[in-house]
Structure 1
Amino acid sequence: MVRDMSKTNQQLLKDSIEVYLSSLKYLDNFVSEPATKYGLSFEQYLILHTIAERDHVSLMDIASERKVTRSAISRQIKVLLQHDYIFQKPAESDRRRLYLHLTPSGEKAEKKVNDLITKRFDNWISRYGEDKVRDIIAFIKDFASHEMTK
């Protein structure tokens, strides 16, 4: 019950809500804003980036790695196809398996968004220092490992 919380815990709860409302939402924009300039969500950019970095990647590979459903990735792939950022090509060994490839416009969009995100992140590291960034990432990983498994 909230009334039974200590004054310190009540203040921490109030502070954490304020941090969420004023700061954590900004992190989403910080990461996703460069992608929106190219009509992409951050998830769609991540798919483009995966395709750019690897050969022979399929929709199922991406769904499996992200631990999401095939249909969730399929919706993102559909948008990328509509933007003419990717195309699908059957595998030589199994024509039913479709590999994803970037089109020239997809390569350009992926590179530009990657450059923007990298520049933003480099500025973030310069401002706060590598140690603090590592500490933040470690805390978020620890938090997720304990809280998201409940």
Structure 2
Amino acid sequence: MSKNEKLLDKAIDVYLTALKGLGTFISEPSAEYSLSFEQYLILRMIVKNPQIRLMDIAKKRSVTRSAISRQLRPLLNHHYIEQKADPDDRRRMFLTSTAKGNEAEQKISSLVLKRFSKWIDVYGEERATQLLDLLEDFSKQIVQSD
């Protein structure tokens, strides 16, 4: 087995255990509110940016408007957000959070932070920073360049 094949096997193992596990670990609080982690992140963006537009979210997340539109449906159905027409141009729709959405975002954010803080307590702030910096660099150089 070549060095690259061994590294590939290790990368697959890390993905299946550590990275998927981290995703599950950090996304569980949003499931309590019938939201995926992606939907929670969109809700958070709407709470922090009142009157944001769908196309603004798509641009910031580097995805299509239809992808964001699909993620918005559960947020609208659970009454976490609502769409409001721009008074200057009725064709433009703003997304705003409702009181229920603000409460859900606050509670989910609190739970996510609590879980993440425990992870930092175990792993250490310096090592956590190094790991996140390495993953960010990997994302910029490899993932986003493809």
Structure 1: unaligned runs, 5 residues or longer: none
Which residue pairs with 1:98 in the alignment? 93
Shift of 1:82: 0.8
Q: CA-atom RMSD, angstroms?
A: 1.6
Which letter does structure 1 place at the counterpart of 2:125? E
Which residue pairs with 1:52 in the alignment? 47
Which letter does structure 1 place at the counterpart of 2:99? P
Give the greater-gyration-radius structure (CA): 1
Aligned with 1:57: secondary structure? coil
Question: Which of 64, 67, 76 is matched with 1:72 structurally?
Answer: 67
Shift of 1:71: 0.5
Which letter does structure 1 place at the counterpart of 2:111? L
Measured against aligned partners, the alpha-carbon deviations of 1:13-34 in whole angstroms (never above 9, x if no partner) come to 4333322222221011012111
C-alpha separation in 1, matches of 2:53 and 2:10: 43
Could you say which structure has the greater relative contact order, defined with CA pairs below 8 angstroms and 6 or more residues apart?
2
Which residue pairs with 1:23 in the alignment? 18
TM-score normalised per structure 2:
0.90
Measured against aligned partners, the alpha-carbon deviations of 1:22-79 in whole angstroms (never above 9, x if no partner) come to 2221011012111111000111101110111112201111011111111000111111
CA contact (8 A) 2:84 2:93 kept: yes
C-alpha separation in 2, matches of 1:102 and 1:109: 10
CA contact (8 A) 2:81 2:95 kept: yes
Which residue pairs with 1:81 in the alignment? 76
C-alpha separation in 2, matches of 1:95 and 1:13: 52
**Using a 3 Å threshold, how does the CA distance of structure 1 residues 10 and 96 change in structure 2: closer, same or farther?**
closer
Identity %: 47
C-alpha separation in 2, matches of 1:13 and 1:35: 32
Shift of 1:10: 5.0
Question: Is the counterpart of residue 141 in structure 1 residue 136 in structure 2?
Answer: yes
C-alpha separation in 1, matches of 2:95 and 2:5: 50
Structure 2: unaligned runs, 5 residues or longer: none
Aligned with 2:90: secondary structure? coil
Measured against aligned partners, the alpha-carbon deviations of 1:106-144 in whole angstroms (never above 9, x if no partner) come to 111111111100111111122222211111111111111
TM-score normalised per structure 1:
0.88
Which residue pairs with 1:108 in the alignment? 103
Shift of 1:83: 1.0
Which residue pairs with 1:123 in the alignment? 118
More displaced 10-residue stretch of structure 1: 138-147 or 37-46: 138-147
C-alpha separation in 2, matches of 1:54 and 1:15: 40
